[in-house]
């Protein structure tokens, strides 16, 4: 799973360095970020009506921040994992992040609330299953932290 990575040496010469398997571990960390952000969103919205949420700028900002984390983490998920979990709308998740970050002045709070209360829990469950380690792509030989990561994601 090593592939060459072109690196500038500061001169006209170029070297190639291997890309280590740690990228699979990094992907696992992105999945953890998605699950953790989803848990936080759920805690921010627990027992809160859409009307109360829309009027509470601090709670809205907290949810937007966590949605941004999810969207950013999605950007680090490999093409293989995306292909193996077509039920997750990876592009839409990233698109939501881009809209709330770059088009913050025209955010539709009803859409954000719906995404946070309906789509995020489903996405978090799918992220947990995407990291199901017995046969998943995150099972890397010699990656001792992966087993702990799998246990964490299954909580």
Predicted pLDDT of residue 120: 87
In degrees and rounded to multiples of 5, residue 96 shows phi and psi of -60, -45
Cα radius of gyration (the chain)? 18
Mind listing the pLDDT tens digit for each residue in 28-80? 889 889 989 999 999 999 999 989 988 999 999 999 999 999 999 999 988 98
Contacts of 72-76 with CB under 8 Å at 24 or more apart are: 72/97, 73/30, 73/31, 73/33, 73/34, 73/37, 74/30, 74/34, 76/26, 76/27, 76/30
Task: Let me know: does 46 contact 71? Beta carbons within 8 Å.
Answer: no
Asked whether the predicted pLDDT for residue 2 surpasses 60, the reply is no
pLDDT category at 141 given cuts 50, 70, 90 is very low
- pLDDT > 70 fraction of the chain, expressed in percent and rounded: 67
The two tokens of residue 102 are 């770059």
103 is catalytic: no
Q: Considering 15, 26, 60, 102, which one is annotated as catalytic? A: 102
Task: Say how far apart CA 64 and CA 49 lie, in whole Å.
Answer: 17
Cut 0.85: pTM above it: no
102 is catalytic: yes
Q: Considering 97, 144, 148, 151, which one is annotated as catalytic? A: 97
Task: Say how far apart CA 65 and CA 83 lie, in whole Å.
Answer: 27
Task: Let me know: does 53 contact 60? Beta carbons within 8 Å.
Answer: yes
Task: Let me know: does 113 contact 54? Beta carbons within 8 Å.
Answer: yes
Task: Say how far apart CA 58 and CA 24 lie, in whole Å.
Answer: 35
């Amino acid at each position: 799973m090593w592939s060459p990575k072109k690196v500038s040496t500061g001169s006209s010469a170029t070297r190639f360095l291997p890309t280590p398997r740690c990228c699979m571990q990094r992907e696992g960390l992105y999945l953890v970020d998605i699950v953790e952000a989803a848990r936080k969103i759920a805690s921010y919205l627990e027992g809160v009506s859409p009307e109360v949420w829309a009027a509470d700028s601090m709670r809205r900002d907290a949810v937007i921040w966590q949605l941004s984390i999810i969207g950013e983490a999605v950007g680090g998920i490999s093409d293989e994992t995306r292909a193996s979990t077509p039920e997750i709308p990876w592009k839409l998740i990233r698109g939501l992040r881009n809209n709330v970050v770059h088009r913050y002045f025209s955010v539709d709070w009803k859409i954000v609330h719906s995404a946070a209360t309906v789509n995020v829990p489903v996405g978090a469950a799918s992220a947990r299953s995407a990291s199901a380690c017995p046969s998943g792509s995150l099972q890397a030989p010699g990656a001792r932290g992966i087993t702990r990561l799998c246990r964490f994601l299954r909580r």
